[in-house]
Amino acid sequence: MGKIKKSEEEWRKTLDPESFKVTREKGTEKPFTGLYWNCWESGVYRCVCCGKALFDSSAKFDAGCGWPSFSSPVSEESIETQTDTSWMMTRTEVICSDCGAHLGHVFEDGPELTGLRYCINSAALKLEKKMEE
């Protein structure tokens, strides 16, 4: 599947203001305010812009930072990373590989299994809950 490209106006029509600010303008929601920072339901977290599967709830952990944190993405192909030098620091930005949405950042202070903490904005995600069996 090719990259999803839409105009700013098209994105504004499909996203709420907070999701637009975070995903299209590289904003950050305030800690401890997002829908998913303290959500522990089972399922797959998808990109709010394009629906791509990004993170599984089994990789979610409580980092105490106020944002949803994951130890790994669903697959290496689901995300891309790039260097972010905003705010007078160097970080690794995480973006959706299909639509280029800003998701958050990844840090090397995660759990032992991967050592990574994908710190992701709730406004960039939509949880597809796992069906109860």
As annotated, the active-site residues are: 119
CA 17 vs CA 8, 35, 63: distances in Å: 12, 15, 26
Strand pairing category for 53-56 and 43-47: antiparallel
d(CA 48, CA 126): 5
The Cα–Cα gap between 130 and 14 comes to 24
